Amino acid sequence: MVLAMVKHILTGYRVLDLTHVLAGPTATRMMAEMGAEVIKVEFPPLGDIARSLPIKINGRSGYYVQQNRGKKSISVDIKTESGKLILEDLIRCSDVFIENFAPGVISRLGFGWDKVSQLNSRLVMCSISAFGQDGEMSGLPGFDYIASAYSGIMGVTGERSGAPSFPMAGIGDVMTGSNAFAAIGYALLHREKSGKGQFLDISLIDSYMHCHEVNIEVYELSQKKIVPTRSGHHHYAVCPLGLFKGKSRYICIIALENQWSALCEAMDQPELIKDHKFCTNEQRVEHSVEVINIVQKWIDQVGDDDKVIRLLEEKRVPCGPVLTVDEVVENKSYRARGTIRKIVDPKLGEFYLPGMPIRFSDFEQNQPLEASSLGEDNQTVLRDILGYSSQKISDLTEKKVIFSDSNT
């Protein structure tokens, strides 16, 4: 059951959510945390595939709970005529309609932009996909890592002489969901000025391409002579910028132009500041092997990771230990700030999850929300929002147009 909504910046807005797994649910979760009424529509009998992802306790998925707190759940077979009518009624009274099926699926179901904009001219519709709604790649199946591969991001990640690699995190999905979240917000702002809704096309490939902060311009402006590729522990264009091996963990160190002298002072080697081989970043990149060896030798001589970090921080040199997941979760600073937050779930109990990344001065950061079981809010949505009678809801249940499963 979703707890009573706390007044927030999106209170009063209704979001119709036909998304699943991660990218779409990220966008709608952030909206729910900001006070929007999110109605998640799931297909019977299994609902969002995320409900089956680990870890599951008492039949309930922690993955699903993380991405869907604060949303109402209704389970409707929208392939039936009665199910389609339910969705039409919800579209008429919603502000946002968001889906992340493969391009073309929502139109074949009868709810493409042409149709829904006629049902509700003020509606903001957002479609999330791997490769966008048009173009020759739009029909390809894809998930986060597939888009990472196609975008070239995976191609520049990993050891120089080894295979490409990917992070054990849903960076592309979460980023794409965040882009959708931002686009929806601005489309709603535009609607307040124009009175009109609009269609938003958000894709993983566009989101990943936006992350090439240097690679593409380097290739283009070098007359295609420089092709950025994997550089392993150290950046190919900035030196020093990389991972250095400490006594018990790796340490990330970055010294840009204005920090090189501070790094030399932290290492108690001020003579390096005026060394002609290291005066500029270009010169340090040219002599990168020597620079990396100098820093690594100093770390080895200090022999204490905490001391290395303290000496660097005292000179304002950007650095940090490479933490493990358990260290992150147990970090007292993250817990105090709400970067990691404790939640209470009726089946999973108390546990920590990532906090809400957006903070407003006038509202609480982390809201006390719960995730609904599959179809838990059928009655509430159909009766209280759409005005359906108890008999009509009973008939829809008997005909298996709507479905619920309290064990999820």
Nearest to 295 by CA among 276, 280, 316, 311: 311
DSSP states of 27-58: HHHHHHHTT-EEEEEE-TTT-SGGGGSSPEET
Indicate the burial class of 24 (C-beta count within 10 angstroms; 0-12, 13-18, 19 or more).
Answer: buried
173 catalytic residue (yes or no): yes
Give, as one character, the DSSP assignment of residue 320.
E
Between CA 329 and CA 354 the distance in angstroms is: 9
Instruction: Write out the H or E segment, with its range, that includes residue 60.
Output: strand 60-61
* Selected catalytic residue, list 173, 201, 377, 405: 173
What CA–CA distance (Å, rounded) separates 233 from 245? 10
Residue type, 116: V
Which residues lie across from 145 on neighbouring strands? none
Amino acid at 232: G
Alpha-carbon span 184 to 28, nearest angstrom: 10
Residues in the chain: 408
Q: Strand, coil or helix: what is 195? A: coil
With the CA atoms of 250, 251, 256 and 258 taken in that order, what torsion angle do they form, in degrees rounded to the nearest 10? Answer: -160
Catalytic residues: 173
